[in-house]
Structures are given as structure tokens and as C-alpha cells.
Amino acid sequence: MKIIDLRSDTVTKPDRGMLDAMMRAEVGDDVWGDDPTVNALQAATAALLGKPAGLFLPSGTMANQVAIRAHVMPGDEVILDRESHIFRYEVAAAAVVSGAQFNAIDGDGGVMTAAQVAAAVRPIDIHQPRTTLVCLENTHNRAGGTIFPLDELRRVSAVCRKHKIPIHLDGARLWNASVAAGIPLAEYARHCDSVMVCFSKGLGCPVGSVLVGTKGFIGRARRGRKLFGGGMRQAGYLAAAGIYALKHNVKRLAEDHARAARLARLIAEVPSLDIDLAAVQTNIVIFDCARTGMDSEKALKKCAARGLWLVSFGRTRLRAVTHLDVGDAGIERAGKVLRTVFR
Ligand SMILES: Cc1ncc(COP(=O)(O)O)c(C=O)c1O
């Protein structure tokens, strides 16, 4: 049975073209700063995001954590959304490695408003932690791949500038936001001090993220990366995949978005399933199976038995993610499995 793996866009495997590019990479020792392919990927990503410098890291988690460490001092407070990846899925790393405290806000669909951020900033007071960072996420994973509206980002940024608080953007899927909204990456990045983008999700690379910001910030981040054990040597073989992906796999994200929209419509046609179609803006589809009487674990097993792999996103919520290794036929088959399981 051929598996339709919609668990995540991280499950993609490099295609022939990407593997060839990796094999041909010119490499050096990146801890010494002399891997030309790593340097080229860092420069290309920084240019796309309109920032002076970039740093290649093994994962999105490490990139977020290196960024937080470069922004805050132990005992400082970070404002972020309660459903954000940094808060939910990074093993409390910011507490462990940066001594940071989180102030988690209940955003709406992944969006913290400027008013919410303003209300969460601590006053200057000897008893209270200093608020020294705001983290945002675009697209927002747990909200279902939703796009952070540019107008609200501008307003949040104005609040942060007033208080001299930097913004770090977890842009693991900023590519998706940019393609879906037709807004250049740099336009989002302009309102943020540091941005992390992942190459190992929708862009199809085996590993790798790039963090961008000012030269001073990236200098501190480079030290942090070394401290975390993320300094790699001939990493150009991996960075070459990123350069290939920038050329071949960004524009095509629109196909993943169209397939997610198609899958969402197929789900909406199943009477016992609930889905918010307006929340399906990019490549993530979240739906609820509460009315089927099954919890998500049972539903997952039933789908898996018919060759469809999803993940649980709550007691009765399931997530499907479209990506470059699943085509139109896979989506139609997924719809068929869902109709059979949740009939
Ligand atoms: C929004 C978001 N940020 C960060 C990450 C972390 O990336 P990695 O798995 O490369 O550590 C993920 C991973 O799924 C993510 O969805």
C-alpha cells in the first residue's frame, strides 16, 4: 500500500536535482567561516529578507533558541503567543539555555495584537522582569498555517519600537506566507529585528535553517551556535540543498496551497467532520473529528490502516500538511480515505 504522508512538510526527501547540487557543492570549514556554499546561502537569504547578515544552523529550533539567547539576558521576559512553536514545542529551551521567562499571550488564530503586546510589556520596576523580546510566528503552525496580517505586524512593531524591544520572527514557513499573500519576504522582515527561516519544511531540504539580522546580532548568534554545538564543518553539502531550493522550490509552494485548499473542501464535504475553511490559508489543514465519536488517536490509527498518515493536534483535532512529495492524486486518495473512515 502506497502511503500518503501528510504528517508534516518536514517528511520530504531531496529529489535528484537537489542531490546532484549537494554532490557538486564546493565546501570548506564553516566554523572557520570558509565554506563558500554556506556563505553563499547565508548571503542569499539575508538579501531576500533585506538584512545585513545571515547564519546557517542545523534546525529551526536551534535557530530560534540562538536568536533568543542573542537578544535576552537571564531573568528577562519574552512575550509570545501561547500556541507558538517556541512556547509549546521547544522543550522550554529558552528557560534552560537563556534563563528567559515567557509571558504567553492568548492570540487569536496565532495573531497577537499590538494592544495585547502593549498590555503585556512590563513597567520599569525593580520587582518585575524586564521585557526584552517579542516573538512572532508566520505562518502560524498550530493555528493552521495562518498568515500574520502585515497591518497588525506594523502596529506590533510600532509598540515594540516605542519600548525599544526587538522582535524575533519564527518564519519557519515565512516562504508560504509570502507566496500566498503576494508580499515579499523583506516586507515582513522589515518590521522584525531577527528572522529565522527553515529550508527543511516546504522547501524540501534534508536539514537547515538560516537566521538573519544585523552584523552585530549575527556575530553574537554565531557564538551561541558554537556554544550549542551547532558549528558544522563542511556544511556546504547541506547549504547547497538550500541554494537549489531557493531557485526551484519557493514559487511552487502555491501548488501545495492549492492542494491544501482542495483537501479542506473534501473534508468539508464529510458531514461528521468540522473544519474552518477560512483558516486554511497556506499548506496546513486542521480539522475536528469530535462529532464522529472518535478521539484523534483512534482516528489516526483508522486513517493509517488505509495508508493515510496525519498527526494529532489535540484531543479531537487532526492536522494534514501538503508538501512537494504529494501530488493531486495523493490528495484525492486522502479525501477518499477520510470519506471511508468518517462516513
Ligand atoms: C513554526 C515552527 N517553528 C520552528 C520549528 C522548528 O524547526 P525544526 O524542526 O527544524 O527544529 C517548526 C518545526 O516544525 C515549526 O513548525
Give mean pLDDT, residues 266-274. 97
pLDDT at 305: 98
Mutate to test the pocket of ligand 1, among 83, 84, 141, 196 (most ligand atoms within 8 A of CB): 141
Is the separation of the CB atoms in 197 and 174 below 8 Å? Answer: yes
Going from N- to C-terminal start, the domains of the chain cover 14-248, 252-341
Label residue 69 by pLDDT band (50, 70, 90): very high
Q: How far is the CA of 272 from the centre of ligand 1 (A)?
A: 31
pLDDT at 95: 98
pLDDT higher than 90, residue 11 = yes
Looking at the DSSP bridge assignments, the partners of residue 81 are 105
Q: Which residues contact 229 (CB under 8 A, 6 or more apart)?
A: none
Q: Whose CA is nearest to atom 9 of ligand 1?
A: 60
pLDDT at 306: 98
Pocket of ligand 1 (CB under 6 A): 59-61, 64, 85, 137, 141, 170, 172, 198, 200, 209
pLDDT tens digits, 122-139: 999 999 999 999 999 999
pLDDT higher than 90, residue 255 = yes
CATH of 14-248, one of 3.40.640.10, 3.30.450.20, 3.40.50.300, 1.10.132.20: 3.40.640.10
Compute the distance between CA of residue 144 and CA of residue 52 in angstroms, rounded to an integer: 31
pLDDT at 113: 98
Query: Left (φ > 0), alpha (ψ -120 to 50) or beta: where does 146 sit?
Result: beta
Q: What is the SS3 assignment for 136-190?
A: EECCECCCCCECCCHHHHHHHHHHHHHHCCCEEEEECCHHHHHHHHCCCHHHHHC
Q: Which residues contact 119 (CB under 8 A, 6 or more apart)?
A: none
CA dihedral 215, 216, 218, 220 (to 10 degrees): 160
What share of the chain in percent tops pLDDT 90? 99
pLDDT higher than 90, residue 343 = no
pTM above 0.85, yes or no: yes
User: To which H or E segment does residue 247 belong?
Assistant: helix 236-248
Query: Identity (one letter) of the amino acid at 257?
Result: H
Q: How far is the CA of 59 from the centre of ligand 1 (A)?
A: 8
pLDDT at 242: 98
pLDDT tens digits, 136-166: 999 999 999 999 999 999 999 999 999 999 9
Give mean pLDDT, residues 224-235. 98
pLDDT higher than 90, residue 1 = no
Q: Whose CA is nearest to atom 7 of ligand 1?
A: 60
Which top CATH class is 252-341?
alpha beta
**CA nearest 159: which of 131, 182, 137?**
131
Give mean pLDDT, residues 296-321. 98
